[in-house]
């Protein structure tokens, strides 16, 4: 698990101590990137001909071997820029990063031999070639010996479930198949670190879940691969990642395991599906301070209502609530935890940072 040291500064910003570079598979310290662009006509009239935007602002985190690390943030948070810097396609302005101990500044070729980046952009495949030929091309570029390439390509196609479609032109593939092919391509080099940029963006929920199961069982558990996954989907980050860094506007807002972040920033929200949302038992529990912030949605087509609420305390308290509801004859079809949305989480973290600042 993570070794990063987190502290709250007096101005409310969460700051991170430099990661322990030698121990971490991925160590990022104070990474900063600014992009300049041509100014608008209005800006030019004011004498400013270039505008500089800081897209990654002193970002630090570290990832341990075999960990699935989520980089969570809305569009424009700097996720892709961080990935491009880690895969040496973009040069940072400041800061350091190492991949398996190799420095992105001084050893870019060695870094690229340790990691593979999978973009969600299917355009990086050659659509006029078959899946097999696409993989053979990249096996060559990854310096896989010719005599091993065929067998390796076949194995990778089998591993991602595309062995029957290996001869088909990629243009005929579905988005899910192309995504799996991109992952197969990245695995050709047997990378120690896999950077996945929104891998489930184009997938339906079932394919997305299958992909997550595959990533954990095949890459992490079997190959001890370290995965850094960028996503703007809070459900994915909380349900799939071992640890998460939350970014907004290029800055790190928080880092921790899903449970740590929930405990730190979330009142836990629950969804109760019941046929009697106005049962006095709910009001009693609310008066006692066990349940609060109740919100009831109208009945669905089957006359069952969805009640959203917060339950104070830990999981045993939640179990007690369910027990009380049953004892009082309240019909409950389902009680489940609601993962906070990304917007909620960011708002809470910002609010928490401001709270620290005021304190």
Partner 1 sequence: MHMREIGAMIRAAWLTETSYRMNMVFSLASLLTMVVPLYFVASALQSTMATRISAESSQYFAFVLVGATIYTFVAACTSALPSALASAIGKGTFEAFLGTPTNWGTLFVGMSGYNILWALVRATVMMAIGVAFGARIAFYGLIPLTLIVFLLVLAYGAVGLIGAALLLRYRTTGPLLNGVLTGSALLGGVYYPTYVIPSWLQQVSKAMPLSYGLRAARRVALLGQPLHAVSHDVILLALYVTALLPAGILCVCISLRYARKSGTLGHY
User: Site residues (CB under 8 A) for partner 1?
Assistant: 33, 35-36, 81, 84, 87-91, 109, 112-113, 116-117, 119, 121, 123-129, 133-134, 136-143, 146, 169, 189
Q: How far is the CB of 275 from partner 1 (least distance, A)?
A: 53
State the Cα torsion 273-208-100-155 to the nearest 10°.
140
Q: How far is the CB of 4 from partner 1 (least distance, A)?
A: 26
* Phi, psi dihedrals of residue 103, rounded to the nearest 5°: -80, 130
Q: How far is the CB of 104 from partner 1 (least distance, A)?
A: 11
Q: Is the separation of the CB atoms in 349 and 265 below 8 Å? A: yes
- Closer of 166 and 256 to partner 1 (Cβ): 166
Q: How far is the CB of 119 from partner 1 (least distance, A)?
A: 8
Q: How far is the CB of 148 from partner 1 (least distance, A)?
A: 12
CA separation for the pair 279, 201 (Å, rounded): 41
- Closer of 63 and 170 to partner 1 (Cβ): 170
Q: Are strands 269-274 and 226-231 parallel, antiparallel or unpaired?
A: unpaired
The angle that helices 175-187 and 131-141 make with each other, rounded to 10 degrees, is 30
- Closer of 64 and 113 to partner 1 (Cβ): 113
Q: Is the separation of the CB atoms in 348 and 340 below 8 Å? A: yes
- Closer of 102 and 232 to partner 1 (Cβ): 102
- Closer of 3 and 36 to partner 1 (Cβ): 36
- Closer of 64 and 120 to partner 1 (Cβ): 120
Q: How far is the CB of 181 from partner 1 (least distance, A)?
A: 12
């Amino acid at each position: 698990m993570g070794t990063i040291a987190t502290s709250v500064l007096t101005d409310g910003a969460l700051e991170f101590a430099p990661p322990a570079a030698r121990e971490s598979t991925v160590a990022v310290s104070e990474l900063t990137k600014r992009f300049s662009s041509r100014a608008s006509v209005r800006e030019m009239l004011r004498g400013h001909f270039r505008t500089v935007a800081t897209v990654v602002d002193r970002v630090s985190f570290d990832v341990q071997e075999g960990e699935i690390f989520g980089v969570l943030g809305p569009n424009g948070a700097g996720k892709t820029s961080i990935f491009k810097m880690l895969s040496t396609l973009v040069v940072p302005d400041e800061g350091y990063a190492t991949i398996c101990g190799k420095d992105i500044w001084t050893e870019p070729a060695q870094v690229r031999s340790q990691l593979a980046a999978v973009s969600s952009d299917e355009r990086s495949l050659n659509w006029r070639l078959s899946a097999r030929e696409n993989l053979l091309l990249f096996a060559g570029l990854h310096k896989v010996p010719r005599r091993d390439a065929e067998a390796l390509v076949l194995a990778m196609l089998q591993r991602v479930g595309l062995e029957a479609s290996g001869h088909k032109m990629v243009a005929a593939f579905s988005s899910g198949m192309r995504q799996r092919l991109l992952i197969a391509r990245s695995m050709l080099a047997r990378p120690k670190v896999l950077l996945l940029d929104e891998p489930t963006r184009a997938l339906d929920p079932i394919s997305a879940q299958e992909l997550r199961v595959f990533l954990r069982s095949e890459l992490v558990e079997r190959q001890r691969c370290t995965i850094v996954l960028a996503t703007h989907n809070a459900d994915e980050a909380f349900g799939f990642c071992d640890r998460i860094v939350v970014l907004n506007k290029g800055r790190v807002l928080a880092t921790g395991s899903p449970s740590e972040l929930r405990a730190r920033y979330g009142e836990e929200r629950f969804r109760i599906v019941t046929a009697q949302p106005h049962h006095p038992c709910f009001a009693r529990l609310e008066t006692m301070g066990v349940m609060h912030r109740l919100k009831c949605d109208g009945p669905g087509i089957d006359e069952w209502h969805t009640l959203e609420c917060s339950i104070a305390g830990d999981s045993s308290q939640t179990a007690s609530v369910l027990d009380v509801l049953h004892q009082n004859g309240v019909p409950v079809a389902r009680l489940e935890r609601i993962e906070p949305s990304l917007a909620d989480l960011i708002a809470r973290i910002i609010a928490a940072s401001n709270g620290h600042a005021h304190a």
